[in-house]
Amino acid sequence: NVLHLYVVCSSWSNWNIIKQQEVVGFLEANKIDFQQMDIAGDEDNRKWMRENVPGEKKPQNGIPLPPQIFNEERYCGDFESFFSAKEENIIYSFLGLAPPPGTKV
């Protein structure tokens, strides 16, 4: 399985860039494979992300902001749910991944 992290590679919002960097840093530090999917420069990525974030997870304006995390086609969540899963030590189940050998689930 490959995680897809939908991001904006331009710096239109420093707060979003900080959130994206926190997710990327965690995934890299834990050697979790992922692909960054730029939604600023790629209309197909933007359209796919917007169509596949579940309705109850979309903001009132209907446009979810990055970072959004998917495991292949399965929606994992946004930054807030990622952060909560990390704090609760359930990040691997949140990401739909088997924990590495020797780690607590």
HEC per residue, 27-52: HHHCCCCEEEEECCCCHHHHHHHHHH
What's the N-to-C CA distance of the chain in angstroms?
Answer: 18
Give the angle 74-79-82 at the CA atoms, nearest 5°. 65
Least confident of 17-21, 42-46, 87-91: 17-21
24 confidence band (pLDDT: 50, 70, 90): very high
pLDDT tier, 60 (very low <50, low <70, confident <90, very high otherwise): confident
What rounded mean pLDDT belongs to the chain? 90
Q: Per-residue pLDDT averaged across 42-59, rounded?
A: 93
Handedness of CA 23, 65, 70, 77 (dihedral sign): positive
pLDDT grade for 94, boundaries at 50, 70 and 90:
very high
Read off the pLDDT band of 17 (50, 70, 90): confident
| Domain 3-95 belongs in CATH node 3.40.30.10 | yes
Q: Where are the domains of the chain?
A: 3-95
d(CA 89, CA 87): 6
Which amino acid appears at position 74 of this protein? R
* Strand order across the 74-78 sheet: 34-38, 3-7, 68-71, 74-78
